[in-house]
């Protein structure tokens, strides 16, 4: 499946009939099984329906960091993102990718 960032927004958990998706480095993970974390009211709900790469790398919950841009990140932050990506791969299914 290929989704634009705009289409990805539809999978933010606000519609209970749809799965919840989070993108990391352009790959879309189905995080529906982690609804208590990624669903409405969950501690990571702001990542749902978006590419959370920068926010994960920076360990940030600031809205402006919830984006795909890795520009200006330090090697340490890229390492943190690598660790998050491995956690997502171990726990959730990749269902597609983000396209322009």
Q: How many helices (H) and strands (E) does the chain have?
A: 4, 4
Distance (Å) of CA 72 to CA 27, 38, 54, 96: 21, 27, 10, 26
The partner residues of 96 in beta bridges, in order of sequence, read 28
- The average pLDDT across 67-83 equals 97
- The average pLDDT across 89-100 equals 97
**What's the chain's average pLDDT?**
97
Q: Residue 97: what pLDDT?
A: 98
Residue ranges per structural domain of the chain: 2-98
Q: Contact, 23 vs 43, CB < 8 A?
A: no
Q: Calculate what percentage of the chain has a pLDDT beyond 70.
A: 100
CATH superfamily of 2-98: Cytochrome b5-like heme/steroid binding domain (3.10.120.10)
């Amino acid at each position: 499946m290929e989704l634009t960032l705009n289409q990805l927004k539809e999978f933010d958990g606000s519609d209970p009939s749809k799965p919840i998706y989070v993108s990391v480095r352009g790959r879309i993970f189905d995080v529906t099984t982690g609804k208590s974390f990624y669903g409405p009211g969950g501690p990571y709900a702001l990542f749902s329906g978006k590419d959370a790469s920068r926010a994960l790398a920076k360990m940030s919950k600031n809205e402006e960091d919830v984006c795909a841009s890795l520009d200006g990140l330090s090697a340490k932050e890229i390492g943190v993102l690598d660790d998050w990506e491995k956690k997502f791969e171990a726990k959730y299914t990749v269902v597609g990718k983000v396209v322009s």
